[in-house]
Amino acid sequence: MPDTPSILADLEADTSIAAANLFTALATEYLAETATREGPVSTGRTRAELNLRFDEPLPRGGMALEAVVARLRDEVLPDCNRLYHPRYVGHQVSAPLPAAIWTESLTAALNQSLAVAEMSPTATALEHRVVRWMCDLVGYGAAAGGTLTSGGTEATLTGLLAARSAAIPDVWTNGIGADAPVVVCGEHAHYAVSRAVGEMGLGLRNIVVIPSRDWRMDVEALSTTLDTLLRDGRRVMAVVATAGSTATGSFDDLHAIGTLCERHGIWLHVDGAHGASALLSGTHRHRLRGIELARSIAWDPHKMMLLPLSAGLVLVREERDLEGAFAQRAPYLFHGADEGERVWDQGVRSFLCSRRADVLKLWVALQRYGADGLGRLYDGLCDVARAMHSAIEAHPSFVALHAPESNILCFRWIGDGSMGDDELDVVNRGLRERYNRSGAGWITATNLAGRRVLRVTIMNARTTAADVEEVIAGLAREAGAMGAV
């Protein structure tokens, strides 16, 4: 085992540009190799094979950095999912913006913690600045605020915690009591909503689900449900609308839902984890009409702003509502407001204590590519989804299940139409597994109306219409190889 002086020497050696280049060289090789469209998109190896590869005792002594990087190159990278490959069209995780990738090592090197302003002087200033820009995009006034989060799940929990404090002002001290309020959401809401309800101790039976019409919340059904709940004396803590649903990328009618909520004095939370980035796009912004009526919004820059994980955001129309969400007293850590000023410590507004400065990569991305540039990227991703929709409509063996409102598309292999729905469920499940294992591309799947369907999300600026046509052709080839007709 190396002695202390040699470890200190290793640490110093690892601060050099030569050491850093070992890692950046790996990353740039990956970016270059995936641009060629050669090589598998994912791995054909089993979980057991991969577990076996790393099944070794805890290393008690260190090894040369070159040897560690060689293990990354030889053992980790070859069996990764290659999100930068143009035919990776799987989950909603981006092929991240290069300038944001490189910012990550700086974020780690600086290691500023966002809970307390004195631990992150410039990063706290930047977080307040970026939050304000995002609030302006929403159309919020001067009282608005927000904080970065680990993602949409935490952002929705935070928004609903704020709603809970607004509905039950003494909840932090006395709990929710026997008469728990109700949370209303659409049937296609992300599980972040039910998870938050569970976490907050409201009880899942206090979720009221509104059915969809054309994959969007049925506003008439919402209106009737709210009338019934209020007539029955139920307290409605929040309505959650979705802007960019996970399954189909559909947008609820925020204007109509927001108007209803305003009329009843109900908190509207918009889960815009996926779709709020449409605010950057001249073409798609209209899908968010009415978003400014929300009291809280979840927005994930690590989705459609193509940042590397993690970068989420919760915005609130009134910043003080977030302080209500976490009515935390920690005078040993947080500093009170200077006379007449607001508290700068973001820890009073966010779930985490130690929190990395994810704002740096967001700020760098905005500086480097501009909000308009990111909006054009958003448009491009949606254009490719539309091109795929047209190609599927033209293919006799597939059917599209909806016209894409964003970059997400669900479809189903139907062959020559002779199979029943149950049989098609089995074939579609097997087809996806087989195609993904082939390495030619990588897609995902979901359940829609009780049926197994294929699903793609276009999260890579390199993916073209020709790539998604190749994905369809590859799926058709695999279906043929399975003996499906």
Ligand X SMILES: Cc1ncc(COP(=O)(O)O)c(C=O)c1O
Q: Quote the least distance from Cβ 231 to ligand X, whole Å.
A: 31
Per-residue three-class SS string for the chain: CCCHHHHHHHHHHCCCHHHHHHHHHHHHHHHHHHHCCCCCCCCCCCHHHHHHHCCCCCCCCCCCHHHHHHHHHHHHHHHCCCCCCCCEECCCCCCCCHHHHHHHHHHHHHCCCCCCHHHCHHHHHHHHHHHHHHHHHHCCCCCCEEEEECCHHHHHHHHHHHHHHHHCCCHHHHCCCCCCCEEEEECCCCHHHHHHHHHCCCCHHHEEEECEECCEECHHHHHHHHHHHHHCCCCEEEEEEEECCCCCCCECCHHHHHHHHHHHCCEEEEEECCCHHHHHCCCCHHHHCCHHHCCEEEECCCCCCCCCCCCEEEEECCHHHHHHHCCCCCCCCCCCCCCCCCCCCHHHCCCCCCCCCCHHHHHHHHHHHHHHHHHHHHHHHHHHHHHHHHHHHHCCCEEECCCCCCCEEEEEECCCCCCCHHHHHHHHHHHHHHHHHHCCCEEEEEEECCEEEEEEECCCCCCCHHHHHHHHHHHHHHHHHCCCC
Q: Which stretch binds ligand X (CB under 6 A): 240-248, 287-295, 322-330, 383-391?
A: 240-248
Residue from the set 82, 87, 190, 361 that interacts with ligand X by CB under 6 A: 190
Q: Quote the least distance from Cβ 106 to ligand X, whole Å.
A: 23
Is residue 112 near ligand X by the rule CB under 6 A?
Answer: no
* Closer residue to ligand X in complex, CB, 114/117: 114
Q: What residues numbered 273-302 form the site for ligand X, per CB under 6 A?
A: 273-274, 300
Q: Quote the least distance from Cβ 155 to ligand X, whole Å.
A: 7
# residues near ligand X by CB under 6 A: 15
Q: What residues numbered 134-163 form the site for ligand X, per CB under 6 A?
A: 151-153
Is residue 312 near ligand X by the rule CB under 6 A?
Answer: yes
* Closer residue to ligand X in complex, CB, 28/194: 194
* Closer residue to ligand X in complex, CB, 284/395: 284
Which single residue brings its beta carbon nearest to ligand X?
A: 151
Q: Quote the least distance from Cβ 164 to ligand X, whole Å.
A: 18
Residue from the set 158, 242, 277, 464 that interacts with ligand X by CB under 6 A: 242
* Closer residue to ligand X in complex, CB, 40/244: 244
* Closer residue to ligand X in complex, CB, 243/427: 243
* Closer residue to ligand X in complex, CB, 116/288: 288
Q: Which stretch binds ligand X (CB under 6 A): 10-18, 42-50, 68-76, 242-250?
A: 242-250
Q: Which stretch binds ligand X (CB under 6 A): 112-120, 129-137, 224-232, 267-275?
A: 267-275
Q: Provide the binding-site residues for ligand X, judged by CB under 6 A.
A: 92, 151-153, 190, 192, 242, 244-246, 271, 273-274, 300, 312
